């Protein structure tokens, strides 16, 4: 089974990159499942229904998110009706939307799970305990985790913790693809961060000038999405089987 995961889509240029490259990429790789993180697709923070539909029209089957999922209030109006639009499972209380989706691929149940870290992030339920509770009811499924977190240490710790229970964990949120694609001892295909889809010539998808000025002055700056110039699409492709899981990280640049 082959799964394609595309890193955080940032702004309208990210949607353009997705529309430009994803269908050809799928034609080349022939994945059975395509997942895209879309939480930054509207102006760099949040997602609207039109963005969600654009991501699906570009070739995604499931859209995951993270800490910016609620930044556009409109998401509350549609997230309950879209079972393939995920928000992190470990949000506390009675939060709209779904944290996971289970689908059948060639007779095999595959569950895509969205989780969010706690280190240097806003308060949220502990993802380690949340996974334990989730796993009790999903032990017979292949589990794919998008772990949306700030620090590499929390991502690696979470991967080690779920190794042998989940089949795949990819990290999102930091927008820079890491060079550590590997398979853990008990079979988990792992990557600390997939990277982003959007502007190549900015800083993490935003315009460079304001980011640099913040470092120069230590004063707050309003970051704007870089919507011009070259595009990039960062992705991971994961091959799963009973004996030898494989993961490869790569990118496309215009």
State the catalytic residues.
68
CB contact set of 126 (below 8 Å; sequence gap of 6+): 90, 118
Indicate left, alpha or beta for 93 from its phi (over 0: left) and psi (-120 to 50: alpha): left
Report yes or no: 40 and 11 within 8 Å, Cβ to Cβ.
Answer: yes
Question: Strands across the sheet with 100-105, in order?
Answer: 100-105, 108-116, 142-148, 168-172, 189-191, 182-183
DSSP 98: B
Q: Using CA atoms, how far apart are residues 93 and 226, in angstroms rounded to an integer? A: 35
Q: Using CA atoms, how far apart are residues 39 and 198, in angstroms rounded to an integer? A: 13
How far is CA 100 from each of CA 22, 64, 122, 143, rounded to the nearest angstrom?
A: 23, 9, 21, 10
**Cα 211 to chain center, whole Å?**
23
Q: Which residue has the tokens 């334990």?
A: 132
């Amino acid at each position: 089974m082959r799964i394609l995961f595309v890193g955080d889509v940032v702004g309208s240029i990210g949607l353009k990159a997705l529309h430009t490259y994803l269908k050809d990429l799928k034609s080349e790789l022939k994945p059975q499942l395509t997942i895209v993180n879309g939480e930054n697709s509207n102006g760099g923070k949040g997602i609207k229904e039109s963005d969600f539909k654009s991501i699906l029209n570009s070739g995604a089957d499931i859209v995951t998110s993270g800490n910016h999922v609620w930044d556009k209030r409109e998401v509350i109006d549609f997230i309950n009706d879209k079972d393939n639009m995920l928000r992190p499972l470990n949000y506390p209380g009675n939060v709209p939307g779904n944290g996971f989706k289970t689908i059948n691929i060639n007779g095999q149940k595959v569950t895509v799970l969205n989780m969010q870290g706690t280190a240097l992030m806003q308060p949220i339920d502990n993802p380690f305990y949340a996974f334990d509770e989730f796993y009790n009811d999903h032990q017979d499924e292949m589990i794919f985790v998008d772990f949306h977190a700030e620090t590499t240490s929390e991502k690696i710790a979470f991967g080690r913790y779920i190794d042998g229970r989940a089949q795949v964990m990819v990290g999102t949120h930091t927008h820079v693809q890491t060079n550590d694609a590997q398979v853990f001892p008990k079979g988990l295909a792992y990557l600390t961060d997939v990277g982003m889809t959007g502007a190549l010539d900015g800083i993490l998808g935003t315009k460079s000038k304001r980011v640099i000025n913040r470092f120069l002055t230590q004063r707050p700056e309003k970051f704007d999405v870089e919507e011009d110039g070259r595009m990039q699409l960062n992705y991971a492709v994961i091959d799963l089987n009973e004996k030898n899981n494989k993961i490869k990280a790569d990118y496309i640049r215009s």
